[in-house]
Structure 1
Amino acid sequence: MPKSTLHRFELASMLACLALLWLGTAQAQAQPLDNAVQTETKINNDAAASQERINNLARQTQDLLSEYRAVVREVESLKIYNENLEQVVTDQRNEVESINNQLAGLEETNRGVVPLMLEMIDALGQIIEADIPFRIEERRARVERLSDMMDQAEVTASEKYRRVMEAYQGELEFGRTTEAYSDTLPTTGQTVDFLRVGRTLLVYQTSDQSATGWFNPSTRAFEELPSRYTLEVKKGISIAKNEKAPDLVVLPTPGPEVAE
């Protein structure tokens, strides 16, 4: 073998040895590096898992805190409600006690008021019978209804008193008003037009003006009037019905001694 060729072969062998030596060294160095990477990866995975557990615990803690605060608010609300309810119950108890006391006093009041109302109804009937007989049946019926009402248990004492006073008020109003109305003349049964002036005068007239009369408080009877009152009574009835403007009307009026 030539010397140059031998030299090249030795050089190639040396390079091959160096390559094998480097490869072995690289492999030897790569093994710890892989172990380090795996360890780092495991550490990172464990850290992520730990963080997830921490996050879950934090969320659970927050949920428990929210529930606790909600329970505290509910307890406070129930406490306020119970305090208010206790005040309401106390007030109701006082109200019941007051009502019971009033009812006890009302029974005593009724024992004094009921006889008074009976007397007032009886007196009202006497007033109507002694008065001029305008709307007589209507007013008598009112007194009869009041008498029947006093025997009705479903009507309270206050309502009975109110109706009795209402009847008296109505009678008082008659003394301040004037009206014209149609009704039956007791003496003949004929329908006539009546003219009432307060509680002082009651005159009547037929629709054809053929008969004109008045209730004479002295004799307590219906009597015919002279013909000179025919137009005056007709005029007065028209004014009371708002068919004519108010004007002076000459009508028969009982004297003071008769009115007494």
Structure 2
Amino acid sequence: MSKVSNRTKIATALVGALALAGSNFAVANSLADVQKADSKIHASTAASQKKVDKYFDQAQDMLFEYGSVADERESLKSYNDYVAGLVADQEATMKLIQDDIDGVDKLRQGVVPLMFKMVDALEQFIALDLPFNLETRQERVQRLKDILNTAEVTLAEKYRLILDAYNIEREYGTKLNAQTGQVNIDGKEILVDFLNFGRVALYAQSQDQKSAWMYNAETKGWDKLEATYLRNLSKAIKQARGQGAPDMFALPIPAAEAAQ
């Protein structure tokens, strides 16, 4: 009885030892599984964090890009507004220019007839005026007529030339003018020095300074001057040509009625 009990005890102890050993082995396996699972969790967490970081970086890039696009949009909007203002201003300027062009066309319609009238009036004025520089003045009028009938000269240039001719005629009336030419006296052509005292009087003196005449606007002829005026007339001709110092001289002038 005693031996059996001892054997039984030994067997029980062996079974317990084996059971404990098996239990320790099972615990060890479970711990390893836990460690593996923990490692997987850490690895998964790290991978997830990388994805989160990646998405965050992408979101930041997209946010920055959005900001740039928004800034560019504002810049484009400002530029477009600026261009739109320029276009509106150009359209207004073009309208003003077109209005000016339309006005020029109307002005042209009025100016062209006026220029023809001005040239005709100038020709008539020269014909009624004292006959000094007559050939030069008549040639100037003829050139104006030719220019008016050519398309090679602009309207503005034609008008300028007409005004220049009027200005030249105006200056004739304010100066002493001397020139050489011929005058018909009693059917004979005589070489003389002409002197016009503005538009007040016109004189002619033979180049030998022995004879002189004054133009008579009423008779359209020449009246002989007395010999006492020859010296003064020579002095006046030299002054007109810049060959003598300014000095006083006395010459007869036509009566007021004749001068008109």
Determine if the TM-score, normalized by the shorter chain, exceeds 0.5. yes
Match of residue 175 from structure 2: 177
2:86 and 2:129 map into 1 onto residues whose CA distance is: 62
Cα distance in 2 between the residues matched to 1:52 and 1:206 = 117
Tell whether the 8 Å contact from 1:195 to 1:204 is kept in structure 2 after alignment: yes
Residue identity in the other structure for 1:138: T
The alignment covers a number of residue pairs equal to 223
1:253 aligns with 2:241: no
SS in 2 for 1:134: coil
The match for 2:102 among 100, 103, 120 is 100
Q: CA RMSD in A?
A: 4.1
**In 1, Cα distance between equivalents of 2:95 and 2:215:** 64
Q: Deviations over 1:187-206 (max 9, x none)?
A: 4463x543221112223446
Distance in structure 2 (CA, Å) of the matches to 1:241 and 1:155: 35
CA drift of 1:68 comes to: 3.0
Structure 2: which 5+ runs fail to align?
1-31
The answer for the alignment partner of 1:214 in structure 2 is 213
Q: 1:199 to 1:81 in 2, by over 3 A?
A: same
Q: How does 1:1-260 map to 2 (within 5 A)?
A: 51=53, 54-55=56-57, 57-93=59-95, 95-96=97-98, 99-100=101-102, 103=105, 105-106=106-107, 109=110, 114=113, 117-155=115-153, 160-180=158-178, 182-187=179-184, 188=189, 190=191, 192-205=192-205, 209-217=208-216, 218-222=218-222, 225-260=225-260
Normalising to structure 2: TM-score of the pair? 0.63
Partners of 2:245 and 2:127 lie apart in 1 by: 33
Question: Any stretches of 5+ residues in structure 1 without a counterpart?
Answer: 1-30
Contact 1:212/1:229 (CA < 8 Å) preserved in 2?
no
CA drift of 1:157 comes to: 5.5
**Contact 2:209/2:234, CA 8 A, preserved across alignment:** no
For 1:252 and 1:230, locate their aligned partners in 2 and report how far apart those are by CA, in whole Å: 11
| Alpha-carbon shift at residue 85 of structure 1 (Å) | 1.0
Matched-pair contact (CA < 8 Å) for 1:121–1:147: yes
Partner SS state of residue 203, structure 1: strand
Percent identical? 27
What letter is aligned with 1:77?
A: Y
1:160 shift after superposition: 4.4
Deviation string 1:128-168 (CA, Å, 9 cap, x unpaired) is: 22322211111001111222233234556665455444433
